[in-house]
Structure 1
Amino acid sequence: MTIINESNGSTINEHVTATIDPRVAIGPSAPEHLADLQQEINRHAQAYSNGDATSRLKLLETARSLVQAMETPQETMLRYCWAQPSSFAGIETCIDLGIFTILAQTNKPKSVAELAATTGAEPELLGRIMKHLAAMGVFVETGMDVYGRNGLTTTLALKRYSDAWPCIILMAFVYTSTGCTLPAISAMPAWLKKNNYCSPTQGTDCPFTQGFKTEYPFFEFLNGKNPDYPELGTQFNNLMSAYHQGRPSWMDAGFYPVERLVHGARTGEDDVFIVDVGGNKGHDLEEFVSKWPNTPGRLILQDQPHVLRDIKSLNLAIEPMDHDFFQEQPIIGARVYFLHSVLHDWNDETCQRILSRLVAAMTPGYSKLLINENVVPDTGAHWQATSLDLIMMVDLAAKERTEQQWHRMIELAGLKIVKIWTPLDSAESLLECELA
C-alpha cells in the first residue's frame, strides 16, 4: 500500500518512506545536460551532412536524450498515457479505412471531406483522428482538415507494415483475443505481482496467457488456436519480414566477412552451404542470393509447413524444406546452420533442445553455426533490444540475452563462440559458433 501526502510530497509504502518535492513533476527532467546535448547534436549532424552514414543513429539517440532532458515528467506521463495509446488506435483505424493507401498514391494533400467520401467514414470522426495523428507526426497537416503524406504514412500503405501494426497493436487497451503483444504487456504488472515478481519461465503461464485469457502458448495461439482471428499467423509472418527491413545485414561488408565461409566450402552437387533453420518466408536467404550469387552449394530454407505454404514466390536457388527444429536435423554436414531471431523465442532449457539437434548434424572443423540476434550490452543498451527483451518475456517467457548469457548457453550445448560480430550502427549481432 502506498500513501501520498500531496501537501508535503511525502510518499510511504511497505518498502520505503520518502519526502519528494511535488514541483519536480512540472520542471524539465535534466536541464543541466542541455548545453552538452546541443553540442553533441551539432557534431553528429555535421558528420551526417559530410557523408558519415553511421552518425544517423547517434544523432537520433542524442535528439531523444535532448527531448527527455527538457520534457517535464508530467509531459512524459501524458505522452505515454494519452498521446501514444490514442495514436495506436488511430493508426489501426486508418489502416482499416485505407487512409494510408489513399494518401500514398499521390503527392497532393487531401481534405478530410474527400477521404471521408471515399471511405464512408463520418467526416467529423475522421477529422478528429487525423488531427491527432498529424500532431504525432503520422500525417502532414497542410491546412484546416487537409493532410498529406510523409515517410511513415507511405510505409503504412505497404502490406507487410500494415499487417505488422495490428499484429502488435490491435485492441491494445482491453484484454481480448486480438493482436499478439500489447494485451500481454498490459497484463505484465498483474502477472508479476501474482507470481512474486519472478520472471516467467513457461509459455503456458505468462502475461500472454493471462492477458489473452488462453491456455495456449504464443505460437499455438497464432497458428490456429484462435479461430475467431485466423489472420494473425499471416500478419505475424509479415511482421517478421518487415522487422529486418532497413537493418544492417550480417552478409554486408563491414558486418561479417562472408568470404571466410566461402573459403574451404565443399563444392559437390549435394553439398549444402547454408541451412536457414526456422527461416520463415526466406527473406534472409533471398537477400543472401542477391548479394552473394556465386557461393558454392545448396541453400535450404527450413520452417513449418504452414509457413512455407504462405510463400508467394521464392528464388529458384533456394530449396524449401518442411522441418520442425525440435526434431532431428536432416541436413548433415552443412557449411553453415543459420538461426535468425529464433532462440530469443525460447527459454534456456528449450534452446538447448534446439541447439542439440544442430550440434548432432555439424561436422567438426567444418560446420559453423551463425546466430543473428541481439547481444544486450551491460551498459548503454539500445531501446530496441531492451523493449524486445520485455516483449519476449511477456509473450513467450523468453529473453534477449547478454554476452555472458550467450556464452553460458552456447558452451552448455557443446559449442564455442569464435567471435561476436556487431557493426556500430546495428542493434543486432552475429554470433559465430563452432563445435567445442
Structure 2
Amino acid sequence: MSTSQVTPLTAEDTVDVSIASAPRDIGAVPDLLKDISGLWDKYDPAADRATRLPLLEKATALAQALETPRETMLKHVGAETASFYTLTLGIEVGLFTELAKNGGSPKKSPELSAALGFDIDGLRRILRHFAAMGHIVQTGSDEWKPNNFSKSLTIPIVNGGYPFYRSVCTAPLLHMHKWMKTKGYPTPTTGKDNPFTFGNQTDQSMFEYMAAHPYLNDCFNHHMGGYRLGRPAWMDPTVYPVQDNLITNFDTSSSSSDPVFLIDIGGNYGHDLERFLDKWPSVPGRIMLQDQQSVLDNVPATLGGGRIEKFAHDFFTPQPVKGARAYYLHHILHDWPDDKCVEIVTNLKGAMTPGYSKLLVNEHVIPSVGASWEATYLDLYMMFLFGARERTEDDWKALLEGKCGLKIEKIWNPGNGVEGIIECIVEG
C-alpha cells in the first residue's frame, strides 16, 4: 500500500481562488469567434465530418474559454452525473418513446405521468433538468417536446449504452480509487482482480459477467451498433483501399469450393460485415461471421442478404478456416492485455497463408499529440474494466511485430476519433 502524501503548495505556488469564478481564457474568444465564422462559411453537409468536426472543435473551445472553472466543476459533479442516471431511467420507463409520439408534438406533464405510471412531481423535476441541459425542449409552462437527441433515445443502438454503462461500468469507476489505493496505485493489467471485479464484487471477468446478465449483454450489443453509427467504416476508401489491397489478387482458384474472402472474428451481430456488403456488394468469395454460438443465435439468417455465413468459434482456440484473404478483428485486441492478445493473434497466424492472407486490426491508433476524446475515454475504460488498453503506433508495433511475429505492411490511420487499420501479413 502506498504511503505517499501530497505535498502542500508553498505560499508562492498558492492558486488565487478568484480564477475559479473567472472565464478560463477570455482572451481567446475573439480569435475563436473568427475561426468559427470562417469554418461556418466552409461547412458542407455533403462533407459532414470533414467540415463539421473542425467547427465543433472550435465551438467546444469557445464554450470552454467562456466557462468558469466553478461552472465546469458543477457540471462534472452534479449536472452531467444527474443527467446520465435520469436519462437511463427515462429510457427504461419509456419516457422518450412517449415524448416522440404524435410526431413529437408538445405534451404536458400530467399526460406523460399518466402514460408512464410515473409520479408527476418527480417527473416534472426530471423534465426540467433535461430541458436545462438541452436534452429536450420546454415549449411552455409544464409542457415539453423532444429534440433530435431525445428522439434518438428511442433507437436501441443509441439508447442501449445507457443501461449498460450504468449497470456494468459505474461500480468499477466508483470504487476504482479504493482498488488502486490498496494496491499502491498500479496500472491494471489483468482481466480479473481489477477495478471491474472489485467494484462489481465478482470473480468473473467482464465478458463472463455479461454472459450471466442477458439484458445487459443485449444492451451492450446494441451499443456496439450505435458506436459505429455515422462514422467512416474501415472499408471506406478514405480509410482503407479494399479494391487494391484485397480484391485485386484474390485467389479464386485456391480451393475446390468457394474460397473465403473475409472473416469477421468476434464480429458480434455482424454490423461491420453488413456495412461491408452494402459498400462492396459484388465482392467475390465467401463472407463469414465468427462469434460465440450464444451471440450468433441472435443474428438473423437474412443478414447481408443471406450471404453472411455464421460460424461459431472461440478466438482463444486455433482458427479452423485456413487461407482466407482477410481475417478481421474490430475492437477485439483492445479488450485484452498483451499476453492474451498474443494468444488470439497466434491462433490466427497459423491459419494465414504467408504473403497472401491479411490480418486487418481495426482499432484506435493513438497519436503522440492531439489524441481524440473518442480514443482517450475508451483507453481509460479498457484499463479499469479489462486491464487492457487503446494503443499507440509504437504499442502496435511492439505487440504485433515484436511479440506476435507478424509484419505490419501499413497503418492506415484517418484520425478524428476514427479507428485505423493495422494491416499485417505472415512473411514467407
Which of the five TM-score ranges fits, normalised by the shorter chain?
A: over 0.9
Identity %: 43
In structure 2, the partner of 1:47 is 42
For residues 90 and 278 of structure 1, the distance between their equivalents in structure 2, rounded to whole angstroms, comes to: 33
In structure 2, the partner of 1:427 is 418
In structure 2, the partner of 1:81 is 77
2:109 is the counterpart of 1:121: no
For residues 334 and 50 of structure 1, the distance between their equivalents in structure 2, rounded to whole angstroms, comes to: 39
2:405 is the counterpart of 1:414: yes
In structure 1, the partner of 2:107 is 110
Superposed CA deviations along residues 248-274 of structure 1, whole A, max 9, x for unmatched, are 101112221110200010224331000
2:201 is the counterpart of 1:216: no
For residues 50 and 143 of structure 1, the distance between their equivalents in structure 2, rounded to whole angstroms, comes to: 32
For residues 290 and 93 of structure 1, the distance between their equivalents in structure 2, rounded to whole angstroms, comes to: 35
Do the aligned residues in 1 keep the contact of 2:373 with 2:417 (CA within 8 Å)? no
Structure (1/2) with the larger helix percentage: 2
For residues 318 and 332 of structure 2, the distance between their equivalents in structure 1, rounded to whole angstroms, comes to: 17
For residues 33 and 134 of structure 1, the distance between their equivalents in structure 2, rounded to whole angstroms, comes to: 29
Structure 1 residue 36: Cα displacement: 2.1
The CA RMSD over aligned residues, in Å, is 1.6
Q: 2:33 aligns with which of 38, 49, 52?
A: 38
- In structure 2, relative to structure 1, the CA distance for the partners of 1:96 and 1:355 (3 Å cut) is same
For residues 414 and 49 of structure 1, the distance between their equivalents in structure 2, rounded to whole angstroms, comes to: 44
The residue identity in structure 1 corresponding to 2:216 is: L
Structure 2 residues without counterparts, runs of 5 or longer: none
Do the aligned residues in 1 keep the contact of 2:372 with 2:416 (CA within 8 Å)? no
The residue identity in structure 1 corresponding to 2:183 is: N
The residue identity in structure 2 corresponding to 1:351 is: C
| Runs of 4+ deviating beyond 6 Å | none
For residues 319 and 112 of structure 1, the distance between their equivalents in structure 2, rounded to whole angstroms, comes to: 49
In structure 2, the partner of 1:172 is none
Structure 1 residue 164: Cα displacement: 2.0
Q: 1:329 aligns with which of 315, 319, 322?
A: 319
1:121-200 equivalence runs, <5 A: 121-169=118-166, 179-200=167-188
Structure 1 residue 16: Cα displacement: 5.4
The residue identity in structure 2 corresponding to 1:165 is: Y
- In structure 2, relative to structure 1, the CA distance for the partners of 1:416 and 1:234 (3 Å cut) is same
For residues 327 and 424 of structure 1, the distance between their equivalents in structure 2, rounded to whole angstroms, comes to: 33
2:261 is the counterpart of 1:266: no
Structure 1 residue 89: Cα displacement: 1.6
1:283-302 equivalence runs, <5 A: 283-302=271-290
Structure 1 residue 426: Cα displacement: 4.3
In structure 2, the partner of 1:245 is 229
Superposed CA deviations along residues 332-374 of structure 1, whole A, max 9, x for unmatched, are 0100000001000000111000010111111111100111111
- In structure 2, relative to structure 1, the CA distance for the partners of 1:426 and 1:199 (3 Å cut) is closer
Superposed CA deviations along residues 215-246 of structure 1, whole A, max 9, x for unmatched, are 1111101111xxxx441111111111221111
For residues 8 and 310 of structure 2, the distance between their equivalents in structure 1, rounded to whole angstroms, comes to: 56
2:1 is the counterpart of 1:13: no
For residues 163 and 222 of structure 2, the distance between their equivalents in structure 1, rounded to whole angstroms, comes to: 11
For residues 198 and 400 of structure 1, the distance between their equivalents in structure 2, rounded to whole angstroms, comes to: 17
The residue identity in structure 1 corresponding to 2:367 is: P
For residues 343 and 75 of structure 2, the distance between their equivalents in structure 1, rounded to whole angstroms, comes to: 43
In structure 1, the partner of 2:58 is 62
Do the aligned residues in 2 keep the contact of 1:266 with 1:297 (CA within 8 Å)? no
The residue identity in structure 2 corresponding to 1:383 is: W
TM-score, scaled relative to structure 1: 0.91
In structure 2, the partner of 1:343 is 333
- In structure 2, relative to structure 1, the CA distance for the partners of 1:397 and 1:50 (3 Å cut) is closer
- In structure 2, relative to structure 1, the CA distance for the partners of 1:51 and 1:240 (3 Å cut) is closer
Which region of structure 1 is more displaced relative to structure 2, 102-111 or 85-94? 102-111
2:272 is the counterpart of 1:278: no
**Aligned pairs, number:** 412
Structure 1 residue 425: Cα displacement: 4.5
Structure 1 residues without counterparts, runs of 5 or longer: 1-11, 170-178
2:359 is the counterpart of 1:358: no
Q: 1:368 aligns with which of 353, 358, 367?
A: 358
